[in-house]
Amino acid sequence: MPALKRPQKRPVKRIGLLGGSFNPAHGGHTHISQMALERLKLDEVWWLVSPGNPLKPPESMAPFAERLAAAEKVADASGKPIIVSDVERQMGFRYSVDTVSALKRRWPRDRFVWIMGADNLIQAHRWRKWRTFFKSVPIAVFPRPTYSLRANKAKAARRFASAKAPPSRAHALAGMAPPAWVFPRARLDAQSATRIRQSKKDQNKKKGESHTTKQKNAAERSRVAEID
């Protein structure tokens, strides 16, 4: 994962930044990363696993080490140039605007692009210093089922409407001066961490109900045996 020490000289890279809780990491994260690598002509994508999301209740979060390890497993299985990073925890940041600023200072020659789904654009105006954030890094917004149309009418989208580039220019986004953002053409993927967590809860509930039923049946058989 990217270290905080200043790296030795190397070729300039075009790097996508995908921030999030990764609670848990899943195929949807891999999908958007692959689309970003292809559409934006990136060299690699960094998954910035957040220590905590200010917009989500902490009790819903799995432990950081667990989320980081799961993200590394998913990234490794993808076979893509995806690097899982804990730099936000190392730097003590929770807000994307601070993270981007720090990364640009440490790797000034690289070209960073922030990657987000359409659902995040809808709530981007709730982010800390969101206007400053839009002016600090080019942004690629990828379509999400049921969110894309609403995203184009979001407060942040309206505020920076003049900075929106056409999809045909997505490949050049990394070299654009912010504010600049684009809605690349990409295949949709319906996976989400929320659905995965809910599915696990449902499975655990069914297992619990099944276990309870077995216990009741065993108790009933025992009672009948005693009567006989």
6: pLDDT strictly greater than 60: no
Give 7's DSSP letter: P
Mean pLDDT of 177-202: 71
Least confident of 91-100, 106-115, 139-148, 208-217: 208-217
199: pLDDT strictly greater than 70: no
Record the pTM: 0.81
Q: Are 55 and 126 in contact (CB under 8 A)?
A: yes
Kindly indicate the confidence band of residue 212, based on its pLDDT and cuts at 50, 70 and 90.
low
| Per-residue pLDDT at 110 | 97
pLDDT of 131-159, one tens digit each?
999 999 999 999 998 898 999 999 999 99
Mean pLDDT of 158-182: 98
| Per-residue pLDDT at 191 | 66
3: pLDDT strictly greater than 90: no
Across the chain, where does the E strand assignment appear?
14-20, 44-49, 82-85, 111-117, 139-142, 164-165, 181-182
Mean pLDDT of 119-135: 97
Sheet holding 181-182, edge to edge: 82-85, 44-49, 14-20, 111-117, 139-142, 181-182, 164-165
pLDDT of 10-68, one tens digit each?
789 999 999 999 999 999 999 999 999 999 999 999 999 999 887 788 888 999 999 99
The three-state secondary structure class of 227 is: helix
